[in-house]
Amino acid sequence: MSATENRAIRSVCIVGGGSAGWLTAGLIAARHGPDLAVTLVESVSRGTIGVGEGTWPTMRNTLRKIGIGETDFMRFCHASFKQGAKFARWRTGAADDFYYHPLVLPEGFPDLDLAPYWNAQAAAPGNGVPSFSDAVCFQEALCEQSLAPKLMTSPEYAGVANYAYHLDAVKLGELLARHCVDTLGVTHIDDEIVDVTLAENGDVAAVVGKRNGPIAADLYVDCTGFAARLLGEALGVPFIDRSDVLFIDRALAVQLPVEEDSPIASHTISTAQKHGWIWDIGLPTRRGIGYVWSTRHAGADRVEEELAAYVGPGFAKLTPREIPIRSGHRELFWKNNVVAVGLAAGFLEPLEASALVLIELSADYIATSMPATRGAMDFVARRFNTMTRYRWDRIIEFLKLHYILSEREDTAFWRDNRDPATIPQDLQDQLALWRDNPPGEHDFASAHEMFPAASYQYVLYGMGFRTRPRAGQLAQRDAAEDAFTRTAAMKRKLTGMMPTNRALLGKLAQHRFPTL
């Protein structure tokens, strides 16, 4: 083994800040402490995109690992609770057309699968059964009343229902930066990278700052956003465009101030429009609203009209921000001694809040699998590339699933999304199987799955898809009836005892959640 391969990994340089850079710095520094020198270099004046305001429940464990308390996090980041997503007008476009993808699994899942029993009820004439998510899970009822997932007496990062967050992504970056530097010992360099120098073996030897000159490290994490200054520009890893599957390539975003006593939605609201869809995220002081669309199907003027109609009279006082979306990802995510995290790795429309969770998963893998030597790094990189590409493919398929079952015929955007040529073959095969067997754990056997079978059930049956009931799938009828009864009882109990999102956040401004 050569001297280069034997070289110990003693330093990491993260190039770029924001949520991607600072989450990565925090997870690495928290795990390795002073044994590994962690430096983050960024041009502070450049700012961040700050679009990803929705998280997954995984963020709770990530913040716990880094050492940030939930009370401090929520106060600083102006955060609110998120219990899933409501998809309105995706199926037919009618005013009463909606379904939920909650964060709580169906009652009894996966030991008891309620999907066959619900499908049997839905197939009966004059059924009058509740929607799938409302029948198998209590969380839709909480969301419909803007109720919180926990009580003031709930310990930090624990709740009555599973939950994630809506947050100010720029404030999250600021909080993480302060904690990483002051508590975890991360070195912060404010500088603009003007060059990248390479070693003979193709590794990055140093990044060159405008004021600090060369900054050397054993491992580099590229968090330079869409530019991908290290992985894309310096190492030449190509970008794989996935717009043949997901058409969205632009967003028009606004921030709408809200009254102090107005309700705060306990879920992301995604409302389908003629040429895309609108996200609506509630924070204590504002709503983040944005229209994402396909420029192949509509111009910005038509989109702005629809966005203005959604926002209402206050739109005239707002300044919309147009954001490009390049749908796709890098061919490799880790090459030589450079690994990309965040926008440098890729980006997709924010339909299921996948941006921040991919950052978390990538950063956690880097921290837990940190190679001891340069020689070991290539093995770690191969595993990371295989795992991460699998995750991107599964996310793309899951996002596409939201579109292909739509019955909307009002515009080419919706019709084109159902074109079989734009649907990945694996997804087409799964849909054929799911006509006779509900999505189950056997369909998602990898340890790197992004969405459980229950998530597919929520979307499929929310969009009107039906699995034909078969006698062999209905052997636990009594247990299923008990589960439906328990769900109904939980809805009655929790809707009567849980505070509203607004009320709990108001108390949190004055008091702290208990710590374990």
pTM beyond 0.85: the answer is: yes
* pLDDT for the residue numbered 127: 67
CA 249 to chain centre: 17
CA 263 to chain centre: 24
Tally of CB atoms within 10 A around 378: 14
Q: What angle do CA 455, 459, 463 make, to 5 degrees?
A: 165
Spatial separation of the C-alpha atoms in residues 146 and 495, rounded to whole Å: 10
CB-based burial of residue 35 (10 Å sphere; 0-12 exposed, 13-18 middle, 19+ buried)?
exposed
Q: Tell me the two tokens of residue 104.
A: 């709580």
3-state secondary structure 326-371: CCEEECCCEECCEEECHHHCEECCCCCCHHHHHHHHHHHHHHHCCC
CA 145 to chain centre: 24
Whether residue 89 contacts residue 97, with contact meaning beta carbons closer than 8 Å, is answered with yes
Buried b / exposed e over 340-375, threshold 16 CB at 10 Å, is bbbbbbbbbbbbbbbbbbbbbbbbbbbbeebbeebe
Peptide bond into 469 cis (omega under 30): no
Per-residue pLDDT at 84 exceeds 90: yes
**pLDDT for 333-386, tens place per residue?**
999 999 999 999 999 999 999 999 999 999 999 999 999 999 999 999 999 999
Confidence of residue 46 (pLDDT cuts 50, 70, 90): low
**DSSP state, 234?**
I
Residues 6+ apart with CB under 8 A from 244: 422
Spatial separation of the C-alpha atoms in residues 219 and 504, rounded to whole Å: 43
**pLDDT for 202-215, tens place per residue?**
999 999 999 999 99
Spatial separation of the C-alpha atoms in residues 359 and 80, rounded to whole Å: 20
Mean pLDDT of the chain: 95
* pLDDT for the residue numbered 470: 84
Whether residue 144 contacts residue 137, with contact meaning beta carbons closer than 8 Å, is answered with no
Tally of CB atoms within 10 A around 472: 7
* pLDDT for the residue numbered 178: 98
Where residue 346 falls (left for φ over 0; alpha for ψ -120 to 50; beta otherwise) is left
Mean pLDDT value of segment 430-454? 92
Rg (CA), the chain: 23
Spatial separation of the C-alpha atoms in residues 31 and 47, rounded to whole Å: 27
**pLDDT for 222-280, tens place per residue?**
999 999 999 999 999 999 999 999 999 999 999 999 999 999 999 999 999 999 999 99
* pLDDT for the residue numbered 53: 86
Tell me if residue 188 falls in helix, strand or coil.
strand
Per-residue pLDDT at 180 exceeds 70: yes
More confident residue, 3 or 449: 449
Domains for the chain: give ranges and CATH numbers.
3-53+168-240+326-393 (3.50.50.60), 84-159+424-516 (no CATH), 249-324 (3.30.9.10)
Q: Tell me the two tokens of residue 357.
A: 């969770």
Mean pLDDT value of segment 117-138? 87
Terminal CA-CA length for the chain: 48
Whether residue 347 contacts residue 326, with contact meaning beta carbons closer than 8 Å, is answered with yes
**DSSP state, 99?**
E
* pLDDT for the residue numbered 44: 85
